[in-house]
A = this chain, B = another copy of it.
């Protein structure tokens, strides 16, 4: 069962020796996280390779003043190597991973991964390839933050989280929306008020309801 999980998630599995597989299987631990619990922070030491079985993890950066910008989320079935950033010495900045919802994950400890990574290039190749893929996502988001107006960003986010998923309601506070698009709550608040006045959405406590998808769509065309 655990072997099936690992071999499905990690394409380097078939490149491992029998000993390496046995070692990873033995050390891989099932870990549960409460909602809001910290999975990784650079001062916590090195976690390892995380494979999400259920729930949702959020990866973000924090400013000195405590402002957060979400970089990406890790969903069910997805691996995340950035909690093993201590193994990836090419990564020189701090990020935080926390459970956005209660989550379960299989964690391969960094201490076990390190010698295998050093002797088997396929493992390192996978890890760095994954890291590059995540950074590529982040770059896309950064381009949005740098280049796009906040109104467009709010509209796109609302669209993707409602109509784009076949839903009408987004259960999220304005603060959460702001953190998701890397903007300030005040900015999001202003855009949402405008959208509500236009009849595109209606606002409730901790939720946004889609009223006129066409109006919302026009904002980012």
Contact = CB atoms under 8 A, between A and B. Distances in A.
A10 B91 CA distance: 19
Nearest to A61: B143
Contact of A125 (B93, B121, B133, B137): B121
Interface in A31-65: 61, 63-65
Contacts of A143: 61, 63, 93
A127 to B, nearest CB: 8
Interface in A92-134: 92-93, 121-122, 124-125, 128-133
Contacts of A172: none
A67 interface: yes
How many chain copies?
Answer: 2
A69 interface: yes
A146 interface: yes
SS of A interface (majority)? helix
A149 to B, nearest CB: 11
A18 interface: no
A135 B130 CA distance: 12
Contacts of A121: 121-122, 125
Contacts of A128: 125, 128-129, 131-132
A196 B134 CA distance: 42
B93 A132 contact: no
B135 A139 contact: yes
B92 A140 contact: yes
7 contacts: A61-B143, A91-B132, A91-B133, A121-B122, A128-B129, A132-B135, A145-B146
Given A90-B129, A92-B137, A128-B129, 7 more contacts: A61-B139, A63-B146, A64-B147, A90-B130, A93-B140, A125-B128, A135-B138
